[in-house]
Structure 1
């Protein structure tokens, strides 16, 4: 993936324009990719406005890398992305999680990480193989985010 892409800010939702800027593609390309890649499903609100989450921005960057940098066709990229997603599912089933492309074994004692991270997501590039505290903090942060998203969805119903 190109190093010229900006870092992804620590926020919950991104507009299609923001995602375009973060991923180096135009909004009409993102709308097209939504049709071609079933894994890409941004939340739609009033007036069909799209709101992407952090994991979708990462997926778009992967798609962009496959298409633009590695030279895959749309169908080839779709197949490769499906392989990647299946591989991550298999790793989760085996007790591992994927955090921004870094494989981390889920560690015990996840109640100690609250003081490590506060409300911001720890930098995954700072993660080293033996750095269990950061990995543990990332898992906890992701859990809190998912609970908040679930609560927001329940309120909307």
Structure 2
């Protein structure tokens, strides 16, 4: 069923029709999946109208992939989704923070320590020339940025 799905626009809420188009499933299928997958809980407003958030659209795409592309049954997909969610929780506890819609950024520990050591030497030898080309990623800065993004995401999810 290899159908390319459109990119998810940057907005806070999506109607059931929009989610259906973004995920390649009909609205009645989405309503059924809400009953089968407890992680899927769209906000309901006036007249029981459903409004999905970005993370729910990603989850629906994941469910769709499990059911339609990988051939799981509803029960099997439910179990696999729970495994995936638990694995993400475990990685988060271990300090590996996946950004939504992206793969987790892994840092080679030896390369990371070598870069820190190199930074310390450069800072001592020539503090004024301690700038880098824009294409070079500083692992230490990346780690701090990742940690800060994780903290921001946690603050945002608390308010939901």
What TM-score comes out, normalization by structure 1 length? Answer: 0.69
1:1-54 per-residue CA deviation (whole Å, 9 max, x = no partner) reads: 945100000111111000000000000000000000001111111111111111
Partner SS for 1:102: coil
- Structure 2 distance, partners of 1:47, 1:131, is 51
- Structure 2 distance, partners of 1:78, 1:144, is 25
**Match runs of 1:84-123 below 5 Å:** 84-99=84-99, 100-104=101-105
Q: Cα distance 1:8–1:146, how it changes in 2: closer, same or farther (>3 A)?
A: farther
1:143 pairs with 134, 140, 152, which one?
A: 152
- Structure 1 distance, partners of 2:74, 2:4, is 23
Q: Cα distance 1:138–1:21, how it changes in 2: closer, same or farther (>3 A)?
A: farther
Partner SS for 1:103: coil
Q: Which residue of 2 aligns with 1:81?
A: 81
Partner SS for 1:78: helix
The alignment of Structure 1 onto Structure 2 pairs a total of residues equal to 128
Partner SS for 1:44: strand
Regions of 4+ moved over 2 Å: 130-150
Task: Compare the two structures and name the one with the higher strand fraction.
Answer: 1
Alignment gaps of 5+ in structure 2:
107-136
- Structure 2 distance, partners of 1:80, 1:26, is 22
Say which one has the larger Rg.
Answer: 2
Q: Check if 1:25 corresponds to 2:25.
A: yes
**Match runs of 1:51-90 below 5 Å:** 51-90=51-90
Partner SS for 1:40: coil
Q: Aligned-pair RMSD on alpha carbons?
A: 3.1
